[in-house]
Amino acid sequence: MNRLHNLFQQKNARILSVYFTAGFPQLNDTREILRQLQAHHVDMVEIGIPFSDPMADGVV
């Protein structure tokens, strides 16, 4: 069993999931944000990885 499956089996209501972008607002803030989320009993964390896709902007 994986951790997500176990989480949903054990806690079927009020699961707190948080999304944030790595390196925002400052590059070195990511670890402290994760520590604070853990200290406040967040159940799941999704970390977004910033990227640039010039092709998505269309013709330059």
Residues belonging to the active site: 46, 57
Residue 15 dihedral angles phi and psi, to the nearest 5°: -85, 125
Q: What are phi and psi of 38, to 5 degrees?
A: -65, -40
Structure tokens at 6: 């176990």
